[in-house]
Structure 1
């Protein structure tokens, strides 16, 4: 019985998956940001796509646009990140509109094939789509929202394994006491 319990607990531990990644938040505002603000989110464990052969840019698809003065929101779109070779910053596209560009410092570190978005506040210039909206100075703030404190499945599996082990040892101890009592009762009679 105990072997089966330990096998099941071990199987649960092996098959457990880890928690999801945190969320990156992008806030863009200022007089040049289409007299409005833009807010988007994406997971921090994103996969870069359309990596430029010269190493100057990469894109992230399926970014969630929450609010935007120049995009019908909520919707999904693409953020394309650039190195200083192309004036740094990020291009915002999707939602059926012409892309808008925000020029500032490079917003990521590490190799372009495995980039890490740098958190912080960046001042720059917003260049509006087709000059339909006014361009000009704007600020982008990149923050991170960690996952809520939900235990990973492995934690639950370890708690279950411990409880099963305590239950099994208690049961075995009770059986031993009953057996001892029965044997001592037989020798008295």
Structure 2
């Protein structure tokens, strides 16, 4: 059975790149959620005026990779202490937010956030917002890293995040 989590932690290209290297992950879809604009696009979301976050939907098989591991990876690949930014990516569209689809996910997400708060020594600013509509991003943003492996942003920002997951979760990496 496939489980899906929607998570936002900075640019969706990085989350996409890291999760695609995890055994049991069947799909990663980049998109926008958490805002109040219908059918947003990348240019509009980048203005920071839509309320949407760049997010990914991670589809995975819990018999291969446990939900807790997917969530712990999320808190490893971005700095959840940075409010409305990740590094030089600044704006609410880059916020650290978890989008639970139901109460069971909300409980899992809260426990993961508590673990992360302890691991990071406090200061977690990751918010929780009920999942409503998830808008799939343009095709150019799907599997961006694989399509653009020598792009400067990918080399400088995505590669270190992928390497963190490989180092910290080796038993789950392809």
Q: TM-score, normalised by structure 2?
A: 0.26
Using the size of structure 1 for normalisation, the TM-score is 0.25
Which one scores higher on RCO, CA 8 angstroms, separation ≥ 6? Answer: 2
CA radius of gyration, larger in: 1
Greater helix content:
2
